[in-house]
Amino acid sequence: MKKIVLISCFFFAFLAVFGQGSAPAWLSENVRALRYPEESFYTGFVYYFVEQGKSQQSIVENAKTEAQADLVKQIRLRVEAKTQSNIYTQNTKGNYSETESFFSEAKTAADAEITGIKTETYYDEKEKKVYALAYVNKYELIGYYKGNLSLNITQIEGLLQTAKDLETNGEKSKARQQLEAAKPLFAKVRYAQDLMNVFDPNMSSDDLQQQKTETLYNQLVQMQARLAQAVYVFVESTEDLFGTSVDIVANKVKAELAINGCSFVDDNEDADFKLRIRVTTRSSDKKDNIVFCYADTAIELFDNHKQKVVFSDEIAQKGGSNSLDKAGRTAMANAAATIVEKLSNWVK
Q: Label residue 56 by pLDDT band (50, 70, 90).
A: confident
**Which pLDDT belongs to residue 82?**
64
Burial of 182 (0-12, 13-18, 19+ CB in 10 A): buried
Residue 74 has pLDDT above 90, yes or no: no
The more confidently predicted of residues 216 and 346 is 216
Q: Label residue 81 by pLDDT band (50, 70, 90).
A: low
Residue 250 has pLDDT above 50, yes or no: yes
Segments making up each domain of the chain, as ranges: 24-137, 139-228, 231-343
**Which pLDDT belongs to residue 346?**
77
Residue 316 has pLDDT above 80, yes or no: yes
Looking at the DSSP bridge assignments, the partners of residue 273 are 233, 303
**Which pLDDT belongs to residue 119?**
93
Report if pTM > 0.85: no
**Which pLDDT belongs to residue 1?**
46
- Please state the rounded mean pLDDT for residues 276-293: 92
Pick among 3.10.28.20, 3.40.50.170, 3.40.50.300, 1.20.140.10: CATH of 24-137: 3.10.28.20
**Which pLDDT belongs to residue 218?**
93
- What is the 3-class SS of the chain, one letter each residue? CHHHHHHHHHHHHHHHHHCCCCCCHHHCHHHHHHHCCCCCEEEEEEEEECCCCCCHHHHHHHHHHHHHHHHHHHHHHHHHHHHHHHHHHHHHHCCCCCHHHHHHHHHHHCCCCCCCCEEEEEEECCCCEEEEEEEEEHHHHHHHHHHHHHHHHHHHHHHHHHHHHHHHCCCHHHHHHHHHHHHHHHHHHHHHHHHHHHHCCCCCHHHHCHHHHHHHHHHHHHHHHHHHCCEEEEEEEEEEECCEEECHHHHHHHHHHHHCCEEECCCHHHCCEEEEEEEEEEEEEEECCEEEEEEEEEEEEEECCCCEEEEEEEEEEEEEECCHHHHHHHHHHHHHHHHHHHHCCCCC
- Least-confidence region, from 110-114, 182-186, 211-215, 344-348: 110-114
Residue 69 has pLDDT above 70, yes or no: yes
Task: Give me the helix-helix angle, 210-228 and 172-199, nearest 10°.
Answer: 150
Q: Compute the mean pLDDT over every residue in the chain, rounded to the nearest whole number.
A: 82
State percent of the chain over pLDDT 70. 84
**Those residues with Cβ within 8 angstroms of residue 202's Cβ, 6 or more apart along the chain or in another chain:** none
Q: Label residue 62 by pLDDT band (50, 70, 90).
A: confident
State percent of the chain over pLDDT 90. 42
CA distance 283 to 243: 12
Q: Label residue 96 by pLDDT band (50, 70, 90).
A: very low
**Which pLDDT belongs to residue 105?**
46
Q: Label residue 110 by pLDDT band (50, 70, 90).
A: very low
Residue 170 has pLDDT above 80, yes or no: no
- Please state the rounded mean pLDDT for residues 193-211: 86
CA distance 189 to 179: 15
State phi, psi for 306 to the nearest 5 degrees.
-85, -15
- Level-2 CATH architecture, domain 231-343: 3-Layer(aba) Sandwich (3.40)
